[in-house]
């Protein structure tokens, strides 16, 4: 059964797309820790990050870096943190989280945004790519 992220890649579920290449997709997390929380995924469904072949792993990190640099320009923060946990969705994903405090990285408190806010953030990040 396809993961929710594979359904996003296939266009079956909408997303707030930030960046896309032939092999990778970046989109806003709809349950964000902070404003601008972005997920970077390989389009190919693989459960665990260290099960990716080396070339795909390195390319995912390069893609995530590019998105993180644009994210930091678009969303005021002290830095963009990166986390790879992958327990909730069995599809490799890199969390890019705008951080102002360590609490922002804890996955406990969540930001609430409406559709227009998500769209504006996605557009702002895209404009910095």
Nearest to 100 by CA among 36, 38, 40, 27: 36
40 strand-pairing partners: 26, 94
The catalytically annotated residue of 37, 91, 93, 95 is 93
The residues facing 94 across adjacent strands are 40
- 93 catalytic? Reply is yes
By CB neighbour count within 10 A (0-12 exposed, 13-18 middle, 19+ buried), where does 128 fall?
Answer: middle
CB 41 within 8 A of CB 25: yes
35, two tokens: 């404003």
Q: Report the catalytic residues.
A: 93
């Amino acid at each position: 059964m396809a993961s929710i992220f594979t359904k996003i890649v296939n266009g079956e579920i909408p997303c707030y797309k930030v960046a896309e290449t032939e092999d990778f997709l970046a989109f806003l997390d709809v349950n964000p820790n902070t404003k601008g929380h972005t997920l970077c995924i390989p389009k190919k469904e693989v459960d665990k990050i260290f099960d990716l072949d080396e070339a795909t792993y390195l390319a995912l990190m390069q893609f995530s870096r590019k998105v993180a640099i644009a994210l930091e320009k678009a969303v005021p923060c002290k830095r963009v943190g990166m986390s790879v946990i992958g327990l909730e969705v069995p599809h490799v994903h890199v969390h890019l989280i705008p951080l102002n405090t360590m609490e922002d990285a804890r996955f406990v408190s969540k930001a609430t945004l409406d559709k227009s806010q998500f769209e504006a953030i996605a557009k702002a990040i895209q404009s910095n790519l």
